[in-house]
Structure 1
Amino acid sequence: MGRWAEVGDGVLVRRYDELDLSLGLVVGERGCLVVDTGGDETQGAEFAAAVREVTALPWTVVVTHAHFDHAFGTAAFGECPVWGHPGCAEELAGGGETQRAAMAEFYREGGRDEIARRVETARIVPPGLLVPDEAEIDLGGRQVRLLHPGLAHTGHDLVVHVPDAGVVFAGDLVEQGAPPAFEDSFPLVWPSAVLRLMTLGASTVVPGHGEPVDVAFVAAQRADLLEVATLCRAVAAGEMTAAEAKALSPYPEHFTAAALARAAAPA
């Protein structure tokens, strides 16, 4: 089950213990915006019911990126507008089944068969309203900006800016409580995307996982990402070994190993 936290007037975060996940809700005068939908239809349905306890206004969904924990609950919201980056739609349509199989296996190996079953049976819903760069959604008395800040945690991240509340939903560009995940990332340019997020001027940033943070936290995480990018470049240039880079990294070894592998992957 989840729990609500209010981060601005009509801007809420629903926090889940599973994967330390944060989902969002922005309420306007004529509609509301749901930010990510959870990892399966059961979690999505719980989130949808919780939204209905807050507001009866029609909802629109935005998916910050295609990873299962943010996108596999969308079917629980029924027929509604779903926004996302074109790469998110492509990944869910083309790679969703591969991701489903990998995550079901992960949960089964951990003895969590019920979550594995829920992931296996979730209906994958790619976004139909595509945002290659920027878009605005009018919720009535409140404009919400969707922005692709560049290659970062994935190639198709969107952030959700609520200017009148000073809040940004960052998806997994920012992580609180655990290091950023590099498996699908672009570590050499991730810091630039975070800088673009910081220039939005929000005072509160909601990570995809963990508690809401302030700009100082984001700046510190960007500094760590810059350090990882520097290490990746040094390894690529033959200036140090991967082992030396892992020892110098601000993050645990397996996180840095993933960053080094992604930095070395063909473009």
Structure 2
Amino acid sequence: MEGRWVEVADRVLVRRYAELDLSVGLVMGDGGCLVIDTRGDERQGAELLAEVRRITRDPWTVAITHSHFDHSFGTRPFLDCPVWAHEGCRADLVENGGRARDEWARYYRDLGRPDIAGDIARTEIVPPDHLVTDRIRLVVGGRPVVLAHLGRGHSGNDMVVHVPDAGVIFAGDLVENGAPPAYEDAYPLEWPATVAGLLDLLDGTPSPGPGGAVVVPGHGDPAGRAFVVAQHAEISALARLCELVSAGLLSPADAVRRSPYPEETTRIALGRAGRP
């Protein structure tokens, strides 16, 4: 999907980027559209804006699935428009966005990518101005869209975007395809229940087509229910290992051996398991 839009359902498009294997979304209606995530800096956001404009001239609304830089730092070029996210997303960007910008600029500089580092360093972080606590229903170009916080998981402010008439859910990084889920900012013990809520949402989403409901992860290819079920089993298994280690019933080394994920991912999850 790199460099082109792919329509995964009626007027619901996904655009993929090689950098971080990122997926962003576009939901089009009649007279309005919804942009889902804005990429990782102002230049990338402006590129995305130009690609949206190639598809539609309608006014947009923006939804941010969570506060991590690669999903939220590209918002500035889209203003002025409503920017929706979970209330914790705004809090995290206000309190920690500047530090995250410096850390990621340094990361890319050390990686030998001064171009990306400079773009991130020059980015103005724009917090969302329309906030979701639990869930809210929008109408975008005549189409219903539900924004829902199902619980903590990949972050403390994960929000999914449900397009019920198309049978599509944009899951952010609650689901990741092609790489292990990222636990650096996660809540490993709560993540399984949150993905169980995502499965409940899927089960209540009739698909207008023969292929079943579509889940768009924050990274990697769109997938179906079976993929989410499999990933739920994996993160549940890792959560149980975290509980056993915390209770002193299992050593970290044994947890690594029994984990469905690589050692680095597992040790990060073990370190996060005790966080409130």
TM-score (norm 2): 0.95
Code of the residue aligned with 1:217 in structure 2: it is F
2:6 alignment partner in structure 1: 5
Match of 2:58?
57
Task: State the distance in 1 between where 2:3 and 2:218 align.
Answer: 14
Corresponding residue SS for 1:164: coil
Corresponding position: 1:104 with 2:105: yes
Moved over 3 A (4+): none
**Residue type at the aligned position of 1:11:** V
Deviations 1:208-264 (A, max 9, x none): 000101110000000000000000000011111111101111111111111111102
> How far apart, CA to CA, are the structure 1 residues paired with 2:171 and 2:264?
23
CA distances 1:17-63 after superposition (whole Å, capped 9, x unpaired): 00000000001112100000000111111111111111111000011
In structure 2, C-alpha distance between the alignment counterparts of 1:11 and 1:245, rounded to whole Å? 41
Q: Which residue of 2 aligns with 1:195?
A: 196
Quick one: which of 248, 259, 263 aligns to 1:249? 259
Q: Tell me how far apart the structure 1 counterparts of residues 31 and 13 of structure 2 sit (CA, whole Å).
A: 17
Say if 2:218 is the partner of 1:208: yes
* In structure 1, distance between residues paired with 2:64 and 2:224: 22
1:123 match? 124
SS across alignment from 2:268: helix
1:200 to partner: Cα distance: 1.5
Structure 2 residues not aligned, in runs of 5+: 206-212
Q: Distance in 1 between matches of 2:142 and 2:253?
A: 54
* Residue type of the alignment partner of 2:103: A
Please report how far the alpha carbon of residue 5 of structure 1 lies from its aligned counterpart in structure 2 after TM superposition.
Answer: 1.1
Matches of residues 1-267 of structure 1 in structure 2 within 5 Å?
2-201=3-202, 202=205, 203-265=213-275, 267=276
Shift of 1:141: 2.6
Looking at structure 1, the residues matched to 255 and 130 of structure 2 have their Cα atoms a distance apart, in angstroms, of: 41
Code of the residue aligned with 1:168 in structure 2: it is I
Q: Give 5+ residue unaligned stretches, structure 1.
A: none
The 2-side partners of 1:208 and 1:107 are apart by 20
Q: Is the 8 A contact 1:153 1:185 kept in 2?
A: yes
> What do the CA deviations read for 1:172-223 (whole angstroms, capped 9, x no partner)?
0000010100011111110111111111124100000001011100000000
Percent of aligned pairs with the same amino acid:
55
Structure 1 distance, partners of 2:72, 2:142, is 27
The CA RMSD measured in Å over matched residues stands at 0.9
- 1:64, CA displacement in angstroms? 0.5
Shift of 1:2: 3.0
SS of structure 2 residue aligned to 1:100: helix
- The amino acid that maps onto 2:217 is P
Cα deviation, 1:53-88, whole Å, max 9, x if unaligned, reads 111110000111000000000001121110011110
In the alignment of these two chains, the number of paired residues is: 266
SS for the counterpart of 1:154 is coil
- Secondary structure of the residue aligned to 1:200 is helix
Q: What code does the residue aligned with 1:153 have?
A: H
Say if 1:3 and 1:16, in contact at 8 Å, map to a contact too: no
Partner of 2:201, secondary structure, is coil
TM-score, length-scaled by structure 1: 0.98
Q: Is the 8 A contact 1:101 1:120 kept in 2?
A: yes
Of stretches 80-89 and 137-146 in structure 1, the one that deviates more from structure 2 is 137-146
Name the amino acid aligned to 1:86. E
